[in-house]
Chains A and B, each alone.
Chain A
Amino acid sequence: MLQKKVCILGPTGVGKTSLIKQFVDGIFSDKYLTSIGVKIDKKIVSDIYTPTQLMIWDLEGIDKYCGFNPRYLRGAAAYVVVMDHTRTSSFSEAIEIFKDAQRHTDSPAILIVNKADLPCTVQWREDEVKQIAGLFSHCFHTSAKTGQGVKDMFTHLAKLSTE
């Protein structure tokens, strides 16, 4: 079995930690996010060709006052950028984070549009959406509340990290 490090990035409040909680078992509490800016969980994904244990680094929410620690991205086989389709600002913030991450790693990335259980309040132009989606390896619509798309996303993330 392989062991791969993957990182979850995104603005504050988009549901990164909730997404991970839907999927994994952890031993460390969420307080580590606020104390050192990262919390680590693990999950074995076995329904792919090579079973893989994902070490999921949940990085604290990033905003204009506080960027993420690029050191945490070191060695990541893939990473995820999460945004919230009920909040317009999270869209642009996610793009900024992605561009910032690209400066420190060339690992593949997945775009997550979270809170799919809520009605979309963001109005995007179609060409805008296509352009952004094209930058990522894949785009998933997920709901941490209902679990929609979460398992598929992590399975794809595991496949991506082993390619």
Chain B
Amino acid sequence: MTSEKASQDKKEAANGGNEQAQLDALRTILYGTLEKRVCDTLRSQQRELVRDNISEALHDREQQDGTIQKVIQPMVARSVENSIASQRTEFINYLYPIVGSLVRKSVSVFISDFIEKTNELIENSFTIKGLKWRVQAWRSGIRFSDYVASQTFLFQIQQVFLIHRETGSLLHTVAANIQHHQDADLISAMLTAISDFVADSFMDGSYEQQLDVIKTEKFTLLLKSTPQIMLVAAYNGNLSPKASQKLQLTLEDIHKIYRSELKNFAGDIAQFKSTDSLLNGCLISEAKSPETQGKKFPIWGTLVFVGIIALISLYAFGWWQTSHIVDKIKQLPKSPGITITQIDTEGWKDIALSVLRDRHAQPISDWLSDIDTSFVSINQDEFISVDIQIVQQKIRQQMVQYPNVNYDASKQALIGSLQRGQRQSLLNNLQTIPGYADLQVDISQLDTIDIKVDLSQSTAVLEQTFVQLIGEISKQQLAFDSGESDIEQSQLSQIALLSARFTDIKRIAKRLNRSASLIIVGASDTSGDSAYNKRLSDIRAQNVKQALVQQGADASTLFAVGIGEISLEGNVKATRKVLFNVIFTDLAQVNNEAEF
């Protein structure tokens, strides 16, 4: 092949071909046969050659056009991503020592950013200028953020599109605001169609007009093109030449770096995701007013930040107070008769305390006197405590009614004297105290006082005795044989008893201011003559009266009468009797009736 080419070139040179052909011929003559050897030699030493020069070459290329880092950056990013995924533990170990500093720095940067942004927000929203801008934005019919941008920046590139010229496909896009992403692929395709339309419509001979700028009221599209791709920047304001140049350079870099991908593009746009960093570099903005260029103190943001910190501190302090009070309550010395059943923190400065309290225990307010209870809600239920001190207190309370008795708590003894009835009453009351039995109070020193009661002077007693005696006399009966009326010897004791009892009745009647008389009633049976029987009953009654008088009864108060026959079915002997009955009257009543 090489010799054929050499001879062909020679022919061309011999035929007076052009200079290039002559040069090619010369080259072929000089190196033709050696070309392969040279290539092989180079190939065998390429590793050493590259090793010796790669650093310088990279450095020089980077200095020349800066493309090295643009090419390497996506590779490094992917490499780091894969390494982290596959060697997570090692990365954690690498990063762990610096995480603390990173977090601190990150927090510090976050706080600074937050203050700046809040300051900006307040300045844009709540100041006169901010309100004016809001009105202007509303009148213009654009979003407030866009209006702020237009007022704040000389220009701001909002979004950048990278478009494949031939198909109109959106290769990649980046935006300053995520909301600008909607249907970017359709917009790109239409832009391509519009560019084609313009090129076709305004063709000047064979020269095609390129669409450079599309300008509207609110934004401008700047189109930069290469044969294969188009870079479109959507911005507002007036783009500086420097920014335009940056776009051009970025376009050229992408064209250079992704040449083969663009040449063989078949619809796979994923391979252009790595243009992200290049395109993000195009989201340039330049601030408008001189006063915003200098670093000013973000007063509003600082105030808001300080306010937030103060609120958080206050809140945290409140929580600390709440938990501190809960701890204090839990650590209170136990009060007899008071038991905490539940203590809960319901919220910020809100404590719910549930207690059981014996009525004799100290008031809850006294128990919690050393604690700020302004945000403690107390739920108190009664219960009966068997705490020793409470039981002792209840015992003392009982002692109040018995001043002669002393309760010695140290010895657990009752000391003193009480009448029998009172003593029993006290002991009964003490037994009703829950827990009293467990104390085993010593009552051996609690003496009993017995009192003799003379009931003889008691009217009630006299009355009862009077009635009792009348009943006794009424029960007495003297029996006689048929036709007999004399008192037998065996009946004299009964007569004597009757006399004594009637004498007692007389005595008691006198004390009760009464008069009493004894009615002696003689009776006979129905055998024989009725008139005889009448006389017989009368004699019997008189004989008994005489016997009573002889025994000492007052004759003036004895009245004997015979009632004759008593007809009684059955035993007729039962009617041969003398019966007794006492009648009495109240002298006070008699006097009152007499006066009346």
A residues bordering B, Cβ < 8 Å? 1-5, 26-28, 32, 36-38, 40-42, 52-53, 55, 57, 69, 71-72, 74-77, 161-162
Report which of B199, B200, B267 forms a contact with A52, defined as CB distance below 8 A: B267
Do A3 and B185 have beta carbons less than 8 Å apart? Answer: yes
Known contacts A2-B268, A36-B197, A52-B267; A28/B190 CB under 8 A: yes
Pair B266/A75 contact, Cβ less than 8 Å: no
Contact status A5-B186, CB under 8 Å: no
A69 to B167, CA, bound (A): 14
B252 in contact (CB, < 8 A): no
Do residues B200 and A69 form an inter-chain contact, with CB atoms below 8 A?
Answer: yes
Give the interface centre of B167, B183, B194 by most chain A CB atoms within 10 Å: B167
B478 to chain A, nearest CB (A): 140
Give the total of B residues in contact with A, Cβ under 8 Å.
23
Q: Please give 14 more A-B residue pairs, beta carbons under 8 A apart, in addition to A40-B186, A40-B193.
A: A3-B267, A5-B167, A27-B183, A28-B186, A36-B197, A38-B193, A42-B185, A55-B168, A55-B169, A57-B168, A72-B193, A75-B167, A76-B167, A77-B167
Contact B267 A2 (CB under 8 A): yes
List, sorted by A's number, 7 A–B pairs whose CB atoms are closer than 8 Å. Answer: A2-B266, A3-B170, A4-B267, A37-B197, A52-B267, A55-B189, A75-B167
Chain B contacts of A3 at CB under 8 A?
167, 169-170, 185, 267, 269
- Is residue B196 within 8 Å, beta carbon to beta carbon, of the partner chain? yes
Q: In residues 187-243 of chain B, which contact A (Cβ within 8 Å)?
A: 189-190, 193-194, 196-197, 199-200
- Minimum CB distance partner of A6 in chain B: B167
A75 near B193: Cβ-Cβ < 8 Å: no
B166 at the interface (CB under 8 A from A): yes
CA distance A32 to B194 in the complex (A): 10
Contact B196 A40 (CB under 8 A): no
Q: In the complex, what residue of chain A is closest to B208 when comparing beta carbons?
A: A71
Q: Which of B185, B190, B194, B268 has the most CB of A within 10 A?
A: B190
With A and B bound together, what is the CA distance between A27 and B186 in angstroms? 8
Q: B267 and A162: CB pair below 8 A?
A: yes
The verdict on B164 contacting chain A, using a C-beta distance below 8 Å, is yes
* Residue among B193, B194, B199, B270 facing the most chain A CB atoms (10 A cut-off): B193
The reply to whether A74 and B166 contact each other, CB–CB distance below 8 Å, is yes
Tell me, rounded to whole Å, the shortest Cβ–Cβ distance linking A32 to chain B.
7
Q: Which chain B residues in 259-298 approach chain A with CB under 8 Å? A: 266-270
Closest-by-CB residue of A relative to B190 is A40
